Amino acid sequence: MKYEQVEKKMPPDIKRMIKEQSWWAAWIQEDDDLAPFLTQRPLLAELDKQLTTDEQHTLRLIVSAFGCLPFTGEALEKQAAWVMSGAQMRLGLIGLRRLGVIVTFRKSWGEQLFLLPEDAFAIWQELLFPVVKFPGGREEAPGEELEWHALVQDAAEQAKAANPRGLAQMMLHFLTACAQQPTMPLSAKGTLHKKQVHKLAEPLRLPPAILTAAGLSYAFRDVYDEPVALLLDLATRSGFFKISGLHEALRLHEPSIEAWIQGGYKWQQEALYALWCDMVTPAPVGLQHAIALMERARSGAWYEVEQLLTQVRACLSFAGGDVEAEPLEAELGTAWLQPLTAFRFIDVSRDTEGRLWFRWLIEPRKTLNLDEPAAAESQEGPGKMYVQPDFELLLPPDVGLNTEWEVASFADLLQSDYVRSYRMTKSSFRRALASGKTAEQIAETLAAHASHEVPLGVLRTLTEWAEQANKLALEDVTLLRCASEADAEALLRSSRCAPYLADRVGPAAFIIAKADAGPLAKCLEAMGYAPHFKAAKRAETPEAGAGNLLPADVPVQPLCYSRDTARIYEMEPSLPRQEELYPDLQDIPPSWIKEFRNYHASTRKDMIRKAIEWKSVLQLRKEGQDRFIIPRMLREEKAAWHVEGLEQEREISVPGEDWQEMKLILPGINDAFQREKEETLENL
């Protein structure tokens, strides 16, 4: 979940209280959105310097142990047990919540969930773990560059290699296959029909388990295989599809497709990478750290995967415990490196010692303007295609997808490699005419993008095909049927309706251009009629003519299930206060937290019990030497009693008479303790 999405759910009072914090008040105006400020690295770097020790250590624990996964207070306290007291952790969490860095949701039964939004994770990782970084990348390949199938051992996975040009090329082939379907009606449960799914899958060259490998699941697994589901999902997220409410069918949204194909190929790949990241986020925390570290790498330079894993383990180790290398390496390879290689977002190489390396083929951390792709990156260079006398069209790698989209409208794909091969046929030519193109337009496209003059025989054949096609035409029109001839005459007398009624068929019917059906219906309603769409007696599919009460454009939902579980919950309507950490604080003697004393054994035990209840700290003094203890248990025996707990991340047991003076330390209350504790914890 990103800060922009969080802010839309955020109660106004919470937003106001965050803006009123002294730190943000210097930067944010009353009407400003919070999200842009909470995701700016320079501002967060300054904020990091202002965080208290408890806030910084708590945030470091969150980044290390959870990343941008939601977590409970109990889970965080368990992670913090060896580093800081529960009161310190809760105090740090309160501060982070009041600053807006950590946001809080509430489940229906009242349990709180905390979250670091994903678009700030990489920034905080870099700020809080400054020693974690890659050594400089190398320019030359360390060894043999590997194809995708060399990364997997499963024979079924190896059987279908990925497209050498990558995911953007696959997206173009997928959209072309969609455009070549007369219609894409949806079944009663909202899926495409299997015959059409098969046609959409034909040009795809992607691993058969591409989603499963990344840990993703999706709807309608019985209808869509994984490559088709992936392309459908990405196209949906890109806005390439709408649902026609009149016919309950998918249709291509031409403006969105036109905007996408006008971008350069690298920009198109980067846009798809951003969508892929949205799909897999939030990932398991180890993978989150790996992704963020990888994205710091310089595009085009080679980096060793083993060094990446070392840095990931360093990030994870702050939360305590050993991180096993083999499971982490397997997760990184299967869920991340393999898909990125198949999509041609990265190259991989293996050196002579068997070590794996990678390099970016895109700029992964580039900020994309998805609404204006042409402005984000210049279009492809002046690549030209080769028009062969046998009607074959060869498109070298420097020919952009915008040109290929035009070619695919009147030619059939033969082969998709670095050089794409198409062929014009009479069937593909007729398909282009049916879509509204003319022979002249096709000839102009060939001339504009051909490296040499278009062969004369090709142009002559196009002219002959056009002459044959123009003799007869089947048009997709709408029939307006009136109840009587008198009603038909009344419509002709209407100055508003008459322009749409040029073709009369019999005494009481008219042929209407399909594009005019909507405007004509409005005119008829203004005249007092109630026109309705009547399904044909022999519908093309069981769904034809259904759903005519739906709006014209219905949004299409992505197929892949979201990993963002926090989005289903409402935000916590209030922010906590520091005073809530210590209920009944007024009931204890003020001297317990203000001064050192040599207390009686019964008072010592009361202070220890209160420290355990509040999960705070005891400061013990003997012969001028101070100790800071996080008590966990008071163990009483017949002869003596002990306090057990933690001291500098070690379990200890201290006899009740093993100190002279003591004081109860309440983080956030004893300001002097904060300064003393900073010196003790400076190396943590």
Beta strands across the sheet bearing 661-665: 650-655, 641-647, 625-636, 617-622, 661-665
Q: How far apart are CA 158 and CA 318, in angstroms?
A: 38
Residue pair 605/634 in contact (Cβ under 8 Å)? The answer is yes
Q: Is the pLDDT of residue 551 over 90?
A: no
- Both tokens assigned to 441: 């337009």
Q: Is the pLDDT of residue 23 over 90?
A: no
As a whole number, mean pLDDT of residues 487-507 equals 88
Rounded to the nearest integer, the mean pLDDT of the chain is 86
As a whole number, mean pLDDT of residues 230-257 equals 88
Quote the pLDDT of residue 543: 39
| Chain CA centroid to CA 393, Å | 37
Of 18-27, 187-196, 557-566, 672-681, the poorest mean pLDDT is in 672-681
> Which one has a higher pLDDT value, 648 or 237?
237
Q: Is the pLDDT of residue 681 over 70?
A: no
Among 257, 60, 116, 112, residue whose Cα is nearest residue 178 = 257
Q: Is the pLDDT of residue 601 over 80?
A: yes
- Residue 357 makes CB contacts below 8 A (sequence gap 6+) with 141, 142, 143, 302, 303, 304, 305, 348, 349, 350, 351
> Which one has a higher pLDDT value, 367 or 560?
560
Q: What is the full DSSP assignment across 80-135? A: HTTTS-HHHHHHHHHHHHHHTSSEEEE-TTS-EEEE--GGGHHHHHHHH-TT--PP
Q: Which residue type does 404 have? A: E
What are the DSSP E strand ranges found in 442-544? 477-481, 503-504, 509-513
Residue pair 70/113 in contact (Cβ under 8 Å)? The answer is yes
**First and final C-alpha spacing in the chain:** 30
As a whole number, mean pLDDT of residues 621-630 equals 88
Residue pair 109/314 in contact (Cβ under 8 Å)? The answer is no
Q: Tens of pLDDT along 314-339?
A: 999 887 766 788 889 999 999 999 99
**What is the band of 371 on the pLDDT scale with cuts at 50, 70, 90?**
low
As a whole number, mean pLDDT of residues 297-312 equals 92
Q: Tens of pLDDT along 450-474?
A: 999 999 999 999 999 988 877 776 7
Quote the pLDDT of residue 154: 56
pTM, 2 dp: 0.83
Quote the pLDDT of residue 541: 38
Quote the pLDDT of residue 368: 60
Q: Tens of pLDDT along 136-182?
A: 778 888 877 776 666 665 544 554 567 899 999 999 999 999 999 88
Quote the pLDDT of residue 445: 95
Quote the pLDDT of residue 658: 87
Of 15-19, 142-146, 365-369, 376-380, the poorest mean pLDDT is in 376-380
Q: Tens of pLDDT along 52-70?
A: 999 999 999 999 999 999 9
Q: Tens of pLDDT along 468-496?
A: 877 776 777 888 999 899 999 999 988 88
- Residue 484 makes CB contacts below 8 A (sequence gap 6+) with 508
Of 210-224, 301-315, 387-401, 472-486, the poorest mean pLDDT is in 472-486
Quote the pLDDT of residue 643: 92
Maximum average pLDDT range among 247-256, 275-284, 617-626, 635-644: 275-284
Q: Is the pLDDT of residue 393 over 70?
A: yes
Q: Is the pLDDT of residue 546 over 60?
A: no
Quote the pLDDT of residue 245: 63
Q: Tens of pLDDT along 77-97?
A: 988 887 888 999 999 999 999
DSSP 597: B
Q: What is the full DSSP assignment across 513-524? A: EGGGHHHHHHHH
Among 302, 291, 300, residue whose Cα is nearest residue 328 = 291
**What is the band of 540 on the pLDDT scale with cuts at 50, 70, 90?**
very low
Among 543, 533, 478, 534, residue whose Cα is nearest residue 248 = 543
